[in-house]
Copies of this chain bind each other. A is one copy, B any other.
Amino acid sequence: MALRDTRIAILKVGAEIVRTKGFNNTGLSEILSRSGVPKGSFYYYFNSKQDFGLHLVDYYAGFLLARTEDFLMDQSVQPVARLRRYFAEFKQGFEADGFQGGCPLGNVSQEMADVSKGFRERIEAVFIQLETMIESCLKEAKSWGEVSVSLDERQTATFILNSWEGAVLRMKVTKSTAPLEVFEQFVFGRLLQ
């Protein structure tokens, strides 16, 4: 395999393990042995574990941003319904995974935001991109008359995104969809009316 392919293969395996075990709790040797890369060659692909971690944030971000765009920019669906489908899709995925893992971005936030400025800034940039896509969707919802004209799209996007992260965090602890259902009920039943 080319250098780039092997790097992606390592990231793919690493993403799965880190999502459940956490970044600090995951040993490089476990990632390498599971991705079939000889021990000792890790530093051929990444400068350090931190460098690997930053690439991992980008890997997660790529997945999340593509999925968010697919759902929230889908012009064939009404804007509020897009948001509903978006969160429902994640809920279904979490249920299929037995509520393991949660949000990879939330996980690395919790674990790394205080440890490294590099991680913190990279993660914040992704949150802002997600927020901006939710904001756009809310702007469309307003132009369609689906939400109140007094709704502040940016602040609502921030509140929805952060509350979702909190609901997913709690889901990891309860191991049930209940926190996600409460989120849906308040966001779609109260906030976006």
Contact = CB atoms under 8 A, between A and B. Distances in A.
A106 B110 contact: yes
Given A21-B114, A22-B24, A191-B190, A169 B173 contact: no
A25 interface: yes
Contacts of A167: 162-163, 166
A158 B182 CA distance: 7
Interface in A158-193: 158-159, 161-167, 169-170, 172-175, 178-179, 182-183, 185-186, 190-191
A127 to B, nearest CB: 6
Interface in A65-102: 100-102
A124 to B, nearest CB: 5
A120 B182 CA distance: 20
Contacts of A173: 109, 113, 120, 123-124, 127
Interface of A: 20-22, 24-25, 100-102, 106-107, 109-111, 113-115, 120, 123-124, 127, 155-156, 158-159, 161-167, 169-170, 172-175, 178-179, 182-183, 185-186, 190-191
A162 B159 CA distance: 12
Closest 8 pairs (CB-CB, A-B): A166-B166, A110-B110, A163-B163, A165-B166, A24-B25, A113-B172, A162-B166, A24-B24
A169 B110 contact: yes
Nearest to A156: B186
A102 B102 CA distance: 19
A165 B158 contact: no
Nearest to A100: B114
15 contacts: A20-B114, A109-B170, A109-B173, A114-B172, A127-B170, A158-B178, A158-B179, A158-B182, A159-B163, A159-B182, A159-B183, A163-B167, A164-B166, A165-B170, A190-B191
